[in-house]
Structure 1
C-alpha cells in the first residue's frame, strides 16, 4: 500500500516565525549534558545590520568612520551596537538602504547583495534587469558568487536574452577555468542539441511505458470487474471480517492507551498538580553522536571535518502523521556516523524551537574547512506566493503557525563558516530552498586525481530534494520512504568519494523505478543554493569503512 506525503494546499497561510509572545527557545541539550541559554527565536533571525563606524583619529581631530553593513542575527547585531529594521525585514527599501552606499563605492560583496535584493523582489516584483546590472558590477569587482548568479540569469533568460554559451563560459570562469578551456558557441549548441536528443528519447520511452501501463490497467480492470461479479457474497463476508478486525484493533489501541496513561499517572511525584491523565505532547531531546568530528583525509587530500543535523518529524499534532521519518532519520544518522565519520545530531519529532535551535547550535561548531549535511524528513508546503516551508511538530493550520521558511534556512546557510553544505530534503516541495535556480547537472561525479582545485577550495551550497517541487512517497513497504530506502542503499554500498552530483545520479534511477511500481512518478532533483553563498565548489562524501554488500 502506498502512502504519499500529505502535501498541503498552496493556499494555506504559514508564517515564517511564531508570535514573539508565544514562542521562545526550549533548552537545548549539548553533547556534555549542559543546557544552552534560553533565547527568543526572533533574536536568531538573519537581518541586514548596520554596525557603528570606527572611531578614527587624525592628529588632534577625532571622527566617526562610515557604518559597516553585515548580515548577522538580530541578537548579535544588537550586542555589537548595530541597527536593523525590526518589523520590516523583508522590505526592499530597508535592505537597499543598508547596502547601497557601499555598493556604489565599489564593494563587490555589497554589489552582490544589491543584485540579490533586486532579483528576489522582496516586497515588490523582482527587477531582473537591475539585478543583472549589479551582478555585472560585482563580477567585475571580483565576486565569483555574482558571476554564478549572472550565469544563472543568462541561462534562464531573466533580465536578458538567453545565452547558454556565455552562461557556460561564465560558470567556468567562476571556477577558474579560462583560455582554451572555454567553449565556443558551436560546441555549446552541439551540447544543447545532444541534451535535447536524449530528452526526446526519454520522452519516447516514457510514452511507450505509459501506453503499456494503460493497456495493463484496462486488462486488470476487466479482471477485477469479473471477480467482483463472481465473488460478491465472498466480498461481503470479507468486509464483515475486516470491520470486526478494525473494531478489535481499535479496542486494543484504547486498552494500550489506557495502560499508558495509568502508568504515567503512577509515575507522577507526590504533590504534582498537573493531572496524571492529561494528554501531553513532548519533544525528545537531541541525540548526539558519542564522538566529535575528526578531520577526514583520503588519497592524500584533506577534506576537513564532517557534521550532520538529522531531522525527522512524524507524529504531527495538527497535521496527518507520517509513517517513516523517524526510522529514516535514525538510519541515515547511523550510516553517516559509522561509514563516513560524521558527528551527528538527530532531532526526532522536533518543534520549531528545537529545529531553529539545532541549526544555530550547529553553526557554532563548524569551521571554514568543515562540511555540513542537513537532512529533513517531514511535511513540506508551498504557499500561494510559491514560498517553501518545512513544517515542525507544532505546525498549525493558522496564520501565525510556526514554520521554517526555506529562504530563511538559506540565509542561515549563508552565515555558516563551512566550506560545503548539502541539504537533503525528503519532503514535498523540497527544492524550494534553491529559489528560482534550475536543476544542476554539472561537475564531477566523484573525486579523481587532477580534479580542478576550485571544487575543493570554493564554497559549495546544494539542496538534493527527493522529488523537486512535487509530492513524494512516504512509505514503500520496507519501513523507509522510497527516497530514503534508495539513499541508504547508496550510502551503505558506496566505495567511491562521491560528490553531490554523483550522489544524485546514483539515486535517480532507483527512486524512479521504485515509485513507478506503485503508480507515482518521483525523481530526485539537485540544485545550487546561490542565496546561501554557493561559489562553485563541491560537497564530497568520503567513505571511511568498507561498503556493506548484499
Structure 2
C-alpha cells in the first residue's frame, strides 16, 4: 500500500522521537543533572546557584530537510549558567561536584570531531582531574590538537605545561614558542617596523653638497700680511667670494636636511599616529565588603571601593557598578548581568576588597560575601566559580584586581613578558597585537598568604598603592606596568610594618586568556602613538599625546 507524504512524515517523527528517547535516555547512567525548569525560569533572590557556570549538553533538535524528510541534530555542548541551561532543556555538569567522566561526556564527541574549543576543554578536564588525579599527558595531547589549529587558549595552556614540565619534558624554549604563537609574535621579523627612507635622488644631492662644502672650507683661511697692496686686495676679494659660496652651500644643505626630516616625520605620523588604537569601552564592577554578619568586620574595604569607583569614573571614563557590603547572590547576579550584556568591544575591570579564605583540602581560594560563615562554604565564592564566569564572557580584555587574603590562588600560572627589550617600533607593534588578543589577567594583593587590611591611612596598603598609581598616571599604561609600580609601593609600605606581602600579576588559568593585555587610558589622553623626533638615529615615541 502506498503511503501519503503525511504518513511518511508521521512515521519519520515516530522513529526520530524513539531515537531521541534512546539517545537522551543513555544519560541516566551518567551523573549529568537533567533540567526540570519551566520556561522563563530565572534564579530567585535566594537561588544564587542558578548563576553558576556549567558544562551544558543541549537536547537534539528535529529539523525538516525537505517535505517528508526530517533529521535529528547532534546534541550541542556549551558553557552557560545553570538557569540558562535549564531554560533550554539541557543537561549539565557542575564541575565542583562532578568527576571527569561526566564532564567528558559533554565535550568529548565534539572534540573528537576536531573542534579546537572542545579539544581545549577536554585538555582542561584532564589537567584539573575533577575527582581523579590530573592526567597531564592526556591534557598535553588534547592541547596539542587544538594548538595545531591556531587556537590561542590551547597554545597558552600547552606553553604552561612545557614551562612547568607537566605531562611533557620541561622545555622553556618550547614554552616560549607556544606563548609567542598565542600572541602572534612568532618571529622577530613579525614585530619589525621599517622606517621611511629618503629617496635616492635626495640622498645623492645631500651627499654632493656635503662633499662640495668640505672641499671649499680649506679655501677659507687667514691670509698672511703682504707689502703688496694689490695682492692683499685680490686675496681679500677671493676670500669674501669663498665665504659667500660656503654660506650658500650650508644654507642649501640645511634646507635639504630640514625637508627630509619633515617628510620623515609626516610619513611616520601617518604610519603610527593616524590610526586610533581600538581600545573599546571600559566597564568596572567594584565590590567592597566591611560589615560581615558572621566574621570579623573590616575597616577599609568600603572606602577603598568608593575611591576606586570615583577614580575610574572621573579620571578614566569607566561605566561602573558598585556593590558595598554585598552578599553572595548580589555578587553573582552582578557578574551574570555583565556576562550577558558585555560584548567583544568591551573591557571589564573587577575590583574586590573583602575577606578571603583558603580551603585547606584543595588549596582553593575564595571570596567571602558578607553572609559567609566561617564553618560553612555555602556562601563562599570560589576562584573556580569566578574563573568559569570569566570564561563565558565576551569581553575582549578582563582584569581582576583582588585585595583579599589568599587571592593569589587565582593566578598560579606564568606570565611571559614578550616585549622586554623591544625598540619603540616593536613596542608599538606589541601594543597593537595585545589589543587584538583576548586577555584574562589578575592583579592580586598577595599570594597564598594573609594580607594587611590597614597600613595605608584610610586604605589598605594594596588599595592605596593601586589608587596612587592610577592617580599619577597620565598616559596609556599596560596592566603589568601598573603591577610593577603597585608592587614596589606595597613592598616599601609592608617592610615598614615588618610584614611580608608581595602582590602578584598573571593570567587566570582556564579563563580563555590569549596572551593579550589590559590597558589603562586616562581621560584626555589620545589613543594615538606618534614619533616625537629622532636623536642620534633613535626615534622617540610618546603614548597618549
Output one character per residue of 1:485-513: Cα deviation in whole Å (capped at 9) or x when no partner.
Answer: 11111110101211111111111111101
In structure 2, C-alpha distance between the alignment counterparts of 1:404 and 1:88, rounded to whole Å: 12
Shift of 1:318: 1.4
Specify the alignment match of 1:80 in structure 2. 88
Shift of 1:178: 2.3
State yes or no: 1:361 paired with 2:368: no
Output one character per residue of 1:136-194: Cα deviation in whole Å (capped at 9) or x when no partner.
Answer: 011123311101000011011111221001111111111112244599xxxxxxxxxxx
Cα distance change on mapping 1:166 and 1:395 into 2, 3 Å: same
8 Å contact kept, 1:172–1:182: no
Shift of 1:528: 0.2
State yes or no: 1:490 paired with 2:469: yes
Specify the alignment match of 1:102 in structure 2. 110
Specify the alignment match of 2:49 in structure 1. 42
Cα distance change on mapping 1:506 and 1:85 into 2, 3 Å: closer
Specify the alignment match of 1:390 in structure 2. 367
Match of residue 111, structure 1, among 105, 116, 119: 119
Cα distance change on mapping 1:87 and 1:367 into 2, 3 Å: closer
Specify the alignment match of 1:173 in structure 2. 181
State yes or no: 1:433 paired with 2:410: yes
Specify the alignment match of 1:511 in structure 2. 490
Specify the alignment match of 1:305 in structure 2. 281
Match of residue 457, structure 1, among 433, 436, 461: 436
Match of residue 128, structure 2, among 103, 117, 120: 120
Q: How many residues are paired up?
A: 398
Q: SS at 1:382's partner residue?
A: strand
State yes or no: 1:529 paired with 2:508: yes
Output one character per residue of 1:16-43: Cα deviation in whole Å (capped at 9) or x when no partner.
Answer: xxxxxxxxxxxx9xxxxxxx97472222
Specify the alignment match of 2:143 in structure 1. 135
Cα distance change on mapping 1:535 and 1:463 into 2, 3 Å: same
8 Å contact kept, 1:370–1:419: yes
In structure 2, C-alpha distance between the alignment counterparts of 1:299 and 1:429, rounded to whole Å: 42
In structure 2, C-alpha distance between the alignment counterparts of 1:477 and 1:85, rounded to whole Å: 44
Specify the alignment match of 1:339 in structure 2. 315
State yes or no: 1:468 paired with 2:447: yes
Output one character per residue of 1:205-260: Cα deviation in whole Å (capped at 9) or x when no partner.
Answer: xxxxxxxxxxxxxxxxxxxxxxxxxxxxxxxxxxxxxxxxxxxxxxxxxxxxxxxx
Tell me the TM-score normalized by structure 1: 0.68
Cα distance change on mapping 1:155 and 1:407 into 2, 3 Å: same
Say which one has the larger Rg.
2
Higher relative contact order (CA 8 A, sep 6+): 1
8 Å contact kept, 1:440–1:528: no
Superposed, 1:281-296 pairs within 5 Å as none
Structure 1 regions of 5+ residues with no counterpart?
1-27, 29-35, 184-296
State yes or no: 1:51 paired with 2:58: yes
8 Å contact kept, 1:89–1:95: no
Cα distance change on mapping 1:56 and 1:130 into 2, 3 Å: same
